[in-house]
Structure 1
Amino acid sequence: MSVFSDPSFDGHEQVVFAADLASGLRAIIAVHDTRLGAAVGGCRMYPYASEAEAIDDVLRLSRGMTYKSALAGLPLGGGKSVIIGDPGQDKSAALWRAMAGFIDSLGGRYVAAEDSGTSVTDLRAMSQYTEHVSGFAATEHGGDPSPSTALGVYVAIRAALAHRLGVSDLEGVRVAIQGLGHVGFALAQMLKSAGAEVLASDINFANLLRAESELGVTPVAPENILYEDVDVLAPCALGGALNADSISRLRAGIVAGAANNQLRETSDGCRLVDRGILYCPDFLINAGGIIDVHYQRSGLDRAGLREHIESIGDRLTEVLQRADRCHRPTGEIAEELAEELLGAQSKTLKQPLRSVA
């Protein structure tokens, strides 16, 4: 399968493949856009069913990172890496050494961070062999950016409720969370603390049991969680949960979750509009993690981190208001706004060319 003919190819600057027989590494790095800076994005490890599936995923994810960083006001480009393998069985010191060498071969053009299937421990292992990894600093969460991702989604849920329902607090609001990993669990904590009623599911029963016992969430079977009668649906698992079939059965008025690439197809944004469901673009509202990584990587004072993450609510409100005015999908509006910001910010970064005698 050609990368250039993949439906998700979007003028990517660079797509690189690597294989290491000794460690079993099979990986892809996609650099989508570096107009604003180095392409920063998570390193995902997943047992893809095919190479074509892995290519499509890394292309879509890296494009989303470009827009995510632009909308968050970060001087970063968009990139992503994927490792084809089972994170429960295939990790090894040799694998991380090989992956670090792969990342290092791009000379800083791509910087890796945590993602689905990888952890702070994995990033720290790679940092022994390359400086082009981030997200493992000695922060209040040990470098884990997941709580910051959850905070951004929480802020977005509040903004969406204010926009759609005029609700100023979460007391009694019903939220269904799909996925109780690091981000989903942290989000459930915030919502419960604010008085929301939280329903949740996870394919890992241990995660669900923990959330039920520690937080008091209402457990729901994974096959039913998308269709609960709630105010907000928060997809926090893998992407593609919103498609022609699932959208037709949704009962939530707002969709706002942390998962990347929640729409299976671009046209699914129109389907949500047709059903009157307010969709909060994932690449806008799940930016808390990359904001946190940027603060770690740049050594910025973390006193300003929360305020930066909370600005996600203002940006979302801007997108929702624009979408209301022109009656178009919020995802399209968010992408257009990101392109506007990319153009404006990249112009300020350009320096005059010097003539060479």
Structure 2
Amino acid sequence: VIIGDPRKVKTDDMMRAMGRFVESLNGRYITAEDSGISVENLQVMATQSSHIAGTSAQYNALGEAPTGNPAPSTAYGVFVGLKATVQHVLKSDLRGVKVAIQGMGHVGYRLAKQLHAEGAQLYVADIYPEGLARAQEELGATIVAPEEILSLPVDVIAPCAMGSSINDESLPDIRAKIIAGAANNQLARESLGTALKEKGIVYAPDYVINAGGIIDIYHQKLDDSSDDAMRAHIAKIGDTLVEIYQRAEAENRATNLVANQIAEERFTTQG
């Protein structure tokens, strides 16, 4: 990662240095957009490395102009996954379901927009005001202080900001039945998955529900794909999550541990 405030500390020299570092790993690591990093930043990195993705695009999961930013695909995948989780846990569609979204960035806002279209009731928080005002004005969302968003009496919490939001301090105050969001590394430690299970909270493993972005990166390299083909691939995230939930219930295990096991099984089978 690059340590620094992306709104204040960002130069082309820094991006080129990051590109050289990525290149030094000889393909063991491929980077793309993430918090604070734009398509333009990656294009500068790409002058120094052949292992930079997300610099251009042919397809878009939400019908937007393709830019290279996989955020639309990530948001669509989280939407599909959240919807499947609500159906599995609450036995309902999204109409009237209360969703608290932590983070109104590129992914969080697109997720909110899709949830709003399905009739969900939204509560939003962010450390920056721009996305909040837009969500309030365009989607009727209720703005909540960042320190309160995880403890709201809602059906779903969607972490879409930085990692480790589910930790020893936040866990006791969580009242939602579902945690399903786009953030990476949502659990501060792996054992919190079991703690969530014991509280009766269903957790959508982060790398499963937010996989739309990496699926996007894969499709952008295919000349014979399309918007619809990419959407169909991303939509399978919902089926994968239901498989995880069913197996977790049958084995009486935490969903994150079951997801890890399924991933290892697939690596072994396909490797």
Q: 1:112-127 counterparts in 2 under 5 A?
A: 112-127=31-46
* TM-score normalised over the length of structure 2: 0.93
Post-superposition offset of 1:181: 0.6
Please name the residue that 1:278 is paired with.
Answer: 202
Residues 150 and 186 in structure 1, CA contact (< 8 A), matched pair in contact too: yes
Question: Are 1:339 and 2:264 an aligned pair?
Answer: yes
Residues 135 and 297 in structure 1, CA contact (< 8 A), matched pair in contact too: no
Residues 241 and 264 in structure 1, CA contact (< 8 A), matched pair in contact too: yes
Q: 1:268 aligns with which of 192, 196, 217?
A: 192
Distance (Å, rounded) in 1 between the aligned partners of 2:187 and 2:22: 29
Residues 134 and 297 in structure 1, CA contact (< 8 A), matched pair in contact too: no
Instruction: Give the 3-state SS of the residue equivalent to 2:35 in structure 1.
Output: coil
Please name the residue that 1:211 is paired with.
Answer: 135
Distance (Å, rounded) in 2 between the aligned partners of 1:87 and 1:264: 23
Q: 1:1-357 counterparts in 2 under 5 A?
A: 82-139=1-58, 140-167=65-92, 169-302=93-226, 303-346=228-271
Distance (Å, rounded) in 1 between the aligned partners of 2:12 and 2:190: 39
Relative distance call for 1:323 and 1:87 in structure 2 (3 A) is: same
More divergent stretch after superposition (106-115 vs 257-266): 106-115
Residues 228 and 250 in structure 1, CA contact (< 8 A), matched pair in contact too: yes
Post-superposition offset of 1:107: 3.1
**Letter in structure 1 aligned against 2:88:** H
**Letter in structure 2 aligned against 1:269:** G
Relative distance call for 1:300 and 1:101 in structure 2 (3 A) is: farther
* Structure 1: segments with no counterpart, 5+ residues: 1-81, 347-357
Post-superposition offset of 1:263: 0.8
Post-superposition offset of 1:298: 4.0
Residues 178 and 235 in structure 1, CA contact (< 8 A), matched pair in contact too: yes
Relative distance call for 1:266 and 1:108 in structure 2 (3 A) is: closer
* Structure 2: segments with no counterpart, 5+ residues: 59-64
Post-superposition offset of 1:109: 3.1
Distance (Å, rounded) in 1 between the aligned partners of 2:15 and 2:169: 39
Residues 177 and 235 in structure 1, CA contact (< 8 A), matched pair in contact too: yes
Q: Which has the higher strand share?
A: 1
- 1:241-285 residue CA offsets vs partner (Å, 9 max, x unmatched): 112231111111111011111111122111111110111111110
How many residues align? The count is 264
* TM-score normalised over the length of structure 1: 0.71
Q: CA RMSD in A?
A: 1.3
Distance (Å, rounded) in 1 between the aligned partners of 2:48 and 2:187: 36
- 1:54-106 residue CA offsets vs partner (Å, 9 max, x unmatched): xxxxxxxxxxxxxxxxxxxxxxxxxxxx1223322221121222222222233
- 1:163-196 residue CA offsets vs partner (Å, 9 max, x unmatched): 11211x2111111101101000000000001111
Structure index of larger Rg: 1
Please name the residue that 1:60 is paired with.
Answer: none
- State, as a whole percentage, how many aligned pairs show the same letter: 49
Post-superposition offset of 1:310: 0.3
Q: Could you say which structure has the greater relative contact order, defined with CA pairs below 8 angstroms and 6 or more residues apart? A: 2
Residues 134 and 296 in structure 1, CA contact (< 8 A), matched pair in contact too: no
